[in-house]
Amino acid sequence: MRIIGLRVLLVLTVTLSFAVGSDANAQKSSRPTFRIMLVADGESQLFAERQRLLKTEIVELMKEDASVVFVEPKIETNWTLERVNTALKEGLTDRSVDMIIVSGSMTGVAVGRLPKLNKPILIPYAAPKLQGLPQDGDRSGRRNLAYITGLLNFEQEIKQLREIVRFDRMTLIVGVEVVRHLEAAEQPVQLASQRLGIETHLVIAGESAQATLDAIPEDTEAIYIGPFFKWSDDEMQILVDGINAQDLPSYAGGGVKWVERGALATMETEEDEIRRMRRAAIFVQRIYMGEPAGSFPISFEQRPVLVLNMATAKAIGTWPRFAVMAEARMINDQTGTRGPLITLQSAMHDAVRVNLDLMAQGLEIDASYEGIKVSRGDWLPQAGADGDFLINDPAVSTSFAQAQRQFTWGISGSQLLYSPQGHADLRFRRDTYWSTEHDYISARLDTMLESGEAYLNVLRAKNTERVNRDNLKLTRKNLSLAETRNTIGVAGREEVFRWQTQIAESRSSVIGASATRNQAEIDLNRILNRPLEAPFRVPPPEDVRAVTPGSDPRLTKYLEDPWSFKIFREFMAEEALLNSPEIRSIDRTISARDELLKGERRQLGIPDIAVIGGFTHIPYAGGVGGEAPPDVAGFPGRQTFTWNVGAQATLTLFDGTSNYARIRQTFRVLDRLHTDRAVIAQRLEQNVRSALHQAGFSYANIELTSDAAEASARNLELVTDLYQRGAADIIQLVDAQNQALGAALAAANALYDFLIDALRVQRAAGAFSLEGTQEDRDDFIQRIDAFAAAKKRQGQRSRPPTEPTRVNPREHN
């Protein structure tokens, strides 16, 4: 029975699944079909791409409502108005077609001339005044006609080109298929030119790019490359290259594609394209739901972004102004993409090899080492030679003394055996040299810190510039939104002026951030002894966390609670005293002064002892007394060769008490040096503890600022939506945007603040982790863990002072 029951259950389950599947398929197949005819001026890659995007949006939006089918007209339009009219009439009379979507200026003209529309027609790109389309406020006002403005905006685009480069005479090149059937096609160009105060020449491009280039007037100063729907890419490339060959700045109305292929500038509308297609898809859905097409809003808030080809700007010798570059997306901009890749680790390593300040200090130390050899020279044999030739008065010249003419020469020498002062001076210079060596180590650490901070300041400046550029883009979008609100009567002109003010302020912030970045790069180049404005590359900002040298996640536990953090501070303070080159330097200085003191005290009772000797030779004697003298009473006459050897001891018996004064002075100097050592140790410990507190704050601040930035961004999104719907005023939106900007800057800089603070902690501790090996880092972790364990065993008792507090002897009474 149990087996039979299971079989029945299995059969019921399978049957039910087929029933459910059949029902789902039935529901899917029962969806109504909505047929849309697509009519365009002619075959065009641009039209095909736009239709592809629009189809995708419509199908995705209406997948639950209907099965959308796209159909093409039976007749090819082939860029003629007559064929376009035939295709439209076919769609209007075909009962299987539910609505028509048209593409192209000529097709829009044909729609405007139709006497009656018996089914909905949608024009995603329309120029109502040029195409003769009806307009009633922010709607078409005509039954079954919906369109979205924004096909052509000559004035805005010409104005943008004039902001890039100043000119008074411009040539506008437009495809014949664009203007062939427009009503007074040259009128908007002439009106735009009059308002901008420039002279514009219109060139209607035919089938050949070369013929179009030949039609450009010689006095033209700028080119506007209008929309081209019929030309191939190769023909368009010939036109762009020919314009650049004449060193003429150009604006590409065809979009970013042609800026990438050589035009100077355009307005990027990729985001606008997506928004336009989504709005068109919504119109299709609303038409399917039965809403009247003539009531749909026609205005479209555009949010274009200026795009510049910096390689073209360099080639034609035209450089955009800083204010223009502040909010532009720059193609082929080699800023930050040329030169060697510099990382934090390489910057700190290279700085100690090539920094001129450190190099100069090293050469000074090398010179002081030679001073040791100077003092050591007094302990080596000393030798000297002298000679003279004299002519004496004949009346006093004798063979027993000086002859009338006599040449004498000789050599003398000495060897110092012992000298209290010389011995002390030699040791003083040796200890002083080692003191300067430790000063060099200190300067080396300072150089590494300086280079690390300079490198992180470059990243910080780049990040700040990026955030300010994003804020400028957002301000530009809000300006477009305000202009749309003003157009439909929701807001006044004061809102537009306010956002224009914000645009100027945001541009200023971007330019200031760019200048700060340039200064930071110059500072880093100086530290690395590179040409001051030499380009270099840095990793993307998001890579800093992963490539931070010396970072060890095992230390994180000592930053998360007060007790562990206190243990960490005490350990790092002890490490700093052990590693500090400043402490070692002053210890050597104290040792050097001790040697001087010993020398001064020994000099009171121990003489300088030396061995001396020499010889004298008279190779020539002439004139009176030049003859060999006779022996007289056993006394020899003048000897031609004599020598001597002996020992010498020198002891200062009394020097006016200056020796005792020097001894007392050295004692005072030693007292000062010992006090200086205490000061250095105290300040060193203070620096370590203060730096750790700052690093602890900046570490916690990374997450806090990130949360604040996220909340501010959500608030800005909410207020923007309320502002767009008229439920919030401009003051609220400006405040929300400024708050979001400040939070974004704080979040962007929080990581760099922590990294700089971490470097300062390591500098105060006397060692940078990036110079150590993994074994060194493991040993460090083991020592701090052992230190923490020992502190935990002995409890949290404060360490008692090891010595009484010193009192200033001048203030003792």
Specify the pLDDT at position 142.
92
Residue at 38: amino acid letter: L
Mean pLDDT for 684-711 is 87
Specify the pLDDT at position 280.
92
Threshold 0.75, pTM exceeds: no
Distance, CA of 115 to CA of 129 (rounded, Å): 18
Q: Taking 90 as the threshold, does the pLDDT of residue 283 lie above it?
A: yes
Residue-wise pLDDT for 60-110, tens only, equals: 999 888 999 999 988 888 888 888 899 999 999 998 999 999 988 888 889
Beta strand residue intervals within 350-506, DSSP E: 382-391, 405-418
Residue-wise pLDDT for 505-525, tens only, equals: 888 888 888 899 999 999 999
3-class secondary-structure state, position 369: helix
Structure token pair of residue 761: 């902690």
Distance, CA of 18 to CA of 744 (rounded, Å): 55
Between CA 162 and CA 170, with CA 167 as vertex, the angle to 5 degrees is 90
Distance, CA of 245 to CA of 257 (rounded, Å): 19
Percent of the chain scoring above 90 in pLDDT? 17
3-class secondary-structure state, position 84: helix
What is the DSSP code (8-state) at residue 115? S
Structure token pair of residue 24: 């789902």
Distance, CA of 534 to CA of 413 (rounded, Å): 60
Q: Taking 50 as the threshold, does the pLDDT of residue 420 lie above it?
A: yes
Alpha helices in 528-558 (DSSP H): 544-547
Q: Taking 60 as the threshold, does the pLDDT of residue 564 lie above it?
A: yes
3-class secondary-structure state, position 41: coil
Q: Taking 60 as the threshold, does the pLDDT of residue 796 lie above it?
A: no
Q: How many other C-beta atoms can be found within 10 angstroms of the C-beta atom of residue 435?
A: 22
What is the DSSP code (8-state) at residue 297? B
Mean pLDDT for 42-56 is 87
Q: Which residues have C-beta within 8 Å of that of residue 462, sequence separation ≥ 6?
A: 336, 517, 538, 541
Least confident stretch, 439-453, 689-703, 763-777: 763-777
Beta strand residue intervals within 221-325, DSSP E: 222-225, 250-252, 265-268, 305-309
Residue-wise pLDDT for 570-619, tens only, equals: 888 888 888 889 999 999 999 888 988 888 888 888 888 989 999 999 88
* DSSP for 572-641, written as a single string: HHHHHHHH-HHHHHHHHHHHHHHHHHHHHHHTTT--EEEEEEEEEEEEEEESTT-SPPPPBTTB----SE
Q: Count the alpha carbons within 13 Å of 232 in the hemisphere toward its beta carbon.
A: 5
Distance, CA of 162 to CA of 249 (rounded, Å): 10
Give CA separation, 102 vs 122, 284, 298, 316, 741, in Å.
6, 13, 15, 39, 42
Percent of the chain scoring above 70 in pLDDT? 87
Q: Taking 70 as the threshold, does the pLDDT of residue 622 lie above it?
A: yes
Give CA separation, 355 vs 368, 448, 535, 756, in Å.
20, 10, 18, 20
The closest alpha carbon to 326, from 469, 191, 448, 208, belongs to 469
The closest alpha carbon to 757, from 691, 704, 813, belongs to 691
Q: Rg for the chain (alpha carbons), in Å?
A: 46
Specify the pLDDT at position 543.
62
The answer to whether the CB of 144 falls within 8 A of the CB of 88 is: no
Q: Taking 50 as the threshold, does the pLDDT of residue 345 lie above it?
A: yes
Mean pLDDT for 436-460 is 91
The closest alpha carbon to 574, from 433, 404, 765, 388, belongs to 765
Q: Taking 80 as the threshold, does the pLDDT of residue 747 lie above it?
A: yes
